[in-house]
Chains A and B, each alone.
Chain A
């Protein structure tokens, strides 16, 4: 029951996180910024609008946003929120989690390529390139969690079997850092991508969806926010030690973790600039090294 509640909460609260990140950024740079709930209004407005379709674009273009959003919802079913077991859980469900997210990426990339625009091709190419580099990081993070908890499902890895900070602090910290960097890369945030940029040549995610409008665009915005929530939940699961506490406390810890992530993203965006595109792979490689070290630590502890 709590699982269903948390699943619903995640779906409803998802558009809040970009708002919080934006608000933090505005506050730190001495501006007032849009309201925290701005994305909800944007979504409602886009959903009521009509759409313009390119004469080149076909079914792939129209189906892309739908599959992207559906993949986010499916991924949410696989994820344990606030240490409650996930709605669908089985050994190795982390592969399905990564696979479903990849399905969304594939659909969105194909939708972008369907327009025949060089800008969107550019965005799609970058999204595919950086996505393929963040995938091994995510797998290594899961591997470290599996080693630490001796479990093969996400609900087990992030559940009570996860050792305390006292027992495996450094490893958990490194995994957390890895997940954080993947979150920044996968959700198109500074230092990988800048959601606020207006120069198409430097964009990744935003340029890929340049041609989408109306309800399709709303779906994309919503699914992107949902993806941030999901990766944030993963991060909170690793970093927030909730353990066996009461359900209310765990949910509070989870939501607090999400809020902290949004604030952290806002802070990162105000203190540093976007990396040059050629530097992004280096960032992701170092992100892979962190959970790699965590695995070595855990293996040497087990041996």
Chain B
């Protein structure tokens, strides 16, 4: 624990140094970069130890604040979630030093560096807090640091609006959490997690209420449908490295919160587990469908986060069903899939956002219809992006495949559990559909950004970005590949976490997941054979071409039409059109079909069609009671006297008992 805090302090000091050295931006960036990297490496030691089976002492700060002492400690669950924070978060922060270099026009760069450091530290504290007030305080610091990072370019009105929507959403979530812990703490000795867990068995009907409110409160952070409305706005408006940490890491604290609630509260009722599963299906399918309709690269990636939270919820729901129906195998497999996907999504989503940032810096655009042909101009960025794409689609031999494989197994073993949980089997079909749609979506992105002709002069003039950009991305891409090819490296520690969540000892969890861990070797074999076949076929093809000796270069065959241009390529809108048309109004797209063009305009359905009208209706309704506000002191004194009188009257009428 002290190692972790020492590492995080170094990160924080690096952020402060960036502000102090603001007059020398290069020095500030270097100090911030080195401090973040070194601090994260030091901090990484503690969670790795815990995942290896060690028990670290907790740290207790005695305070006079009500609610008991502030305890910080690391268990397997906390340690697992710290890994993506320290890997993906640090890569994003280091990328940020290059990404923000020379951006003083847009916003305060040193403050952004400090915000990043504060965000990393707050994430560390959220994940290790074992007392309610410490948890909520860190949660707020995390949310506010996120807000200040999102509104970095606050001169643009859409950024300010996105920031405001994010701020409202995150505070609505915090409010729900305060209610949850308040109701719960009423029944407990104090507000430490240990006391809360102690009070859990005697909660009665409050148990389900807390689980449901907690799911909603944490769900606003995790961003599953329909609580995702703020996510695509905020993640698209933020600077790319901030989008990477927000999408890859910060939203996972919502999942962490739900899992922590499950650990503290115990087995949920079956309807709750089925509800989580259903939310997972909706988030997965709708998230990827909405992503298909987007043309803004970062907004598209943000919708994919909604999709991947859906996949995590499918695993989480299966695990919760295992708890509800007392099936340890199902519980362990489900939670294993969920936590593996948490790590994997953090790796590939941060990677994709960093690559999107490189594209944005190289071309100044994130509009799919304005890009194209970047694969030749930015080969390293393209390589990173295609690795991330294959991973997010769940293709072997990359990490996304590994977690989807475990989630599939969980859903299938639910199917043969001979309990009502069998219905979860249909979630597997949804997962299949999500995989297929994600493939279509990333084919669209890769095709319109990196392949074909450049569609604009800016895309034509793009040049490869420097090592400060592709370095951190390369680390993440390598991590994706390592987890995909050697899955046991991730599955081994994850089994410890899944065991904790399923409430079974580690040895039992290890025995239950034995087939999956053995299968990991077979996956490595498959990856090797796949790579070997590709190599052999590629050599054979080259040899055949060399022997034939007749290799010519010509223009793309356009069925005899001689003069093709970049504008004649299939656009991203057209590519997605069959699927968008198939899902109709659910896709949330306004289609413009004219003789001279085809364009689609995506709409944030939950925000623009539900929440904004609801908010306007509320405002109209509240205008009715506005006349009682005059701003005159006498009148307000009168209100106070009237209220007090009313309360006294109530007290007298109820016989002295409030």
Q: Which residues of A contact B (CB under 8 A)?
A: 47-60, 62-63, 65-67, 69-71, 73-74, 77-78, 88-96, 98-100, 102-103, 105-106, 109-110, 113-122, 124-126, 128-129, 131-136, 138-140, 143, 146-147, 150, 152, 200, 210-211, 214-216, 219, 277-278, 281, 288, 292, 295, 299, 302-303
Which residues on the B side are within 8 Å of A146 (C-beta)? Answer: 412, 415-416
Question: CB distance A125 to B522 under 8 Å?
Answer: no
- Beyond the given pairs A66-B538, A135-B433, A135-B435, 6 more chain A to chain B contacts, judged by CB atoms under 8 angstroms and listed by A's residue number, are A59-B375, A99-B404, A102-B435, A103-B530, A113-B443, A129-B440
Taking a contact as CB atoms under 8 Å apart, the answer to whether B578 and A103 are in contact is no
* CB pair B556 A115 closer than 8 Å: yes
Q: With A and B bound together, what is the CA distance between A111 and B103 in angstroms? A: 37
A88–B532 CA distance with the chains assembled, in angstroms: 15
Is B390 an interface residue when CB atoms closer than 8 A count as contact? yes
- CB distance A71 to B418 under 8 Å? no
Which residue of chain A lies nearest to B443 when distances are taken between CB atoms in the complex? A109
Q: Which residues of A contact B551 (CB under 8 A)?
A: 50-53
Which residues of B are found within 8 Å of A50, using beta-carbon distances? 545, 548-552
Chain B stretch 383-419: residues in CB contact (< 8 A) with chain A: 386, 390, 393-396, 401, 404-406, 408-409, 412-413, 415-416, 418
* Smallest Cβ-Cβ distance to B581: which chain A residue: A278
Question: Shortest distance in angstroms between A179's beta carbon and chain B's nearest beta carbon?
Answer: 14
Q: Given the known A-B contacts A57-B556, A100-B530, A103-B396, are A118 and B425 also in contact in the complex, defined by CB atoms under 8 Å?
A: no
A-B contact count (CB 8 A): 288
Given contact pairs A121-B570, A139-B431, A66 touches B522 in the complex (Cβ within 8 A)? no
Cβ of B388 to closest chain A Cβ, rounded Å = 13
| Chain B residues whose CB sits within 8 angstroms of the CB of A98 once the complex forms | 432, 435
Given A88-B525, A113-B447, A124-B447, CB of A106 within 8 Å of CB of B390: yes
Closest to A299 in B: B422
Check B554 against A219 for contact (C-beta < 8 Å).
Answer: no
B568 close to A (CB within 8 Å): yes
Binds A, one of B69-77, B123-131, B511-519, B641-649: B511-519
Please tell me if B533 contacts chain A, counting CB pairs below 8 Å: yes
* B439 interface contact, C-beta 8 A: yes
- Contact indicator B430/A214 (Cβ below 8 Å): no
Contact status B415-A211, CB under 8 Å: no
Can you identify 28 A-B contacts, CB atoms within 8 angstroms? A50-B550, A50-B552, A53-B551, A54-B555, A55-B555, A56-B556, A60-B375, A67-B534, A69-B533, A92-B405, A92-B408, A92-B519, A96-B396, A99-B395, A103-B395, A106-B393, A109-B447, A110-B451, A113-B447, A115-B452, A118-B558, A121-B447, A122-B574, A134-B436, A211-B556, A215-B541, A281-B582, A302-B416
Contact assessment for A132 and B554 in the assembled complex, using a CB-CB cutoff below 8 Å:
no
A211-B395 in contact given A67-B534, A88-B529, A132-B579 (Cβ < 8 Å):
no
Among A55, A66, A95, A118: residue with most chain B CB under 10 A: A95
Q: Which residue of A lies closest to B579 (CB)?
A: A129
Measured between beta carbons, the chain A residues less than 8 angstroms from B652 are none
A54-B557, A66-B541 as given contacts; A88 in contact with B522, CB under 8 Å:
yes
Do A128 and B440 contact each other (CB < 8 Å), given the known contacts A90-B518, A91-B516, A116-B451? yes
When C-beta atoms are compared, the residue in chain B nearest to A223 turns out to be B537
Most A CB contacts (10 A, CB to CB) among B406, B431, B433 go to B433
Pick the residue among A96, A99, A100, A124 that contacts B575 (CB under 8 A): A124
Q: Which residues of A contact B545 (CB under 8 A)?
A: 50-51, 214-215
* Residue among A58, A95, A136, A302 making CB contact with B404, cutoff 8 Å: A95
Chain B residues whose C-beta falls within 8 Å of the C-beta of A78 in the assembled complex: 526
B515 and A90: CB pair below 8 A? yes
Give B419's nearest chain A residue, CB to CB. Answer: A303
Which DSSP category, helix, strand, loop or mixed, fits chain B's interface?
Answer: helix
How many residues of chain B are within 8 Å of chain A by beta carbon? 89
Residue in A53, A147, A215 whose CB lies within 8 Å of B415: A147
Is there contact, CB below 8 Å, between A131 and B439? yes
Using A106-B390, A132-B436, A139-B431 as known contacts, say yes or no to A125 and B557 having CB atoms under 8 A apart. Answer: no
- B408→A95 contact, CB < 8 A: yes
B452 touches A92 (CB 8 A): no
CA distance A77 to B525 in the complex (A): 11
Residues on the B chain within 8 Å of A288, using CB: 429
Contact A96/B409 with A56-B556, A125-B577 known, Cβ cut-off 8 Å:
no
Q: Are A63 and B538 in contact (CB under 8 A)?
A: yes
Task: Kindly state whether residue B523 has any CB partner on chain A within 8 Å.
Answer: yes
Looking at the assembled complex, report how far the CB atom of A193 sits from the nearest CB atom of chain B, in whole angstroms. 14
- A267 to chain B minimum Cβ distance, whole angstroms, is 28
Measured in the bound complex, the distance between the Cα atoms of B395 and A77 in whole Å is 16
Asked if B515 and A91 sit within 8 Å, CB to CB, the answer is yes
User: Which of A92, A110, A143, A295 is in CB contact (< 8 Å) with B446?
Assistant: A110
Please tell me if B569 contacts chain A, counting CB pairs below 8 Å. Answer: yes
Residue of A77, A133, A139 with most chain B CB atoms under a 10 A cut-off: A139
Contact A77 B526 (CB under 8 A): yes
Cα A295 to Cα B414 in complex, Å, equals: 13
Interface contact B544-A295, CB-CB below 8 Å: no
B446 contacts across to A, CB distance below 8 A: 110, 113
Per-residue A-contact encoding for B573-587, CB less than 8 Å = 1, 0 else: 011111101100000
Tell whether, in the assembled complex, residue B443 and residue A110 are in contact, meaning their CB atoms are under 8 Å apart. Answer: yes
Q: Which 5 interchain pairs have the tightest Cβ spacing? A: A121-B570, A50-B550, A132-B436, A113-B447, A116-B452
In the docked arrangement, what's the CA distance between A47 and B423, Å? 50
A117 touches B564 (CB 8 A): yes
Q: Which residues of B contact A131 (CB under 8 A)?
A: 436, 439-440
Instruction: Please determine whether B530 and A71 come into contact, CB atoms closer than 8 angstroms.
Output: yes
A93 to B566, Cβ gap below 8 A? no
> What are the residues of chain B within 8 A of A215 when measuring CB–CB?
540-541, 544-545, 548
Say yes or no for B252: interface residue by CB 8 A criterion: no
Q: Which residues of A contact B552 (CB under 8 A)?
A: 50-53
User: Is the Cβ of A95 less than 8 Å from the Cβ of B534?
Assistant: no
1/0 per position for B174-207, CB-CB distance to A under 8 A?
A: 0000000000000000000000000000000000
Give the distance in Å from the alpha carbon of A90 to the alpha carbon of B537 in the complex. 26
Task: Select A136's contact among B409, B432, B447, beta carbons within 8 Å.
Answer: B432
B412 partner residues in chain A, CB cutoff 8 A? 92, 143, 146, 152
In the bound complex, residues from chain A placing their C-beta under 8 Å from that of B386 are 110
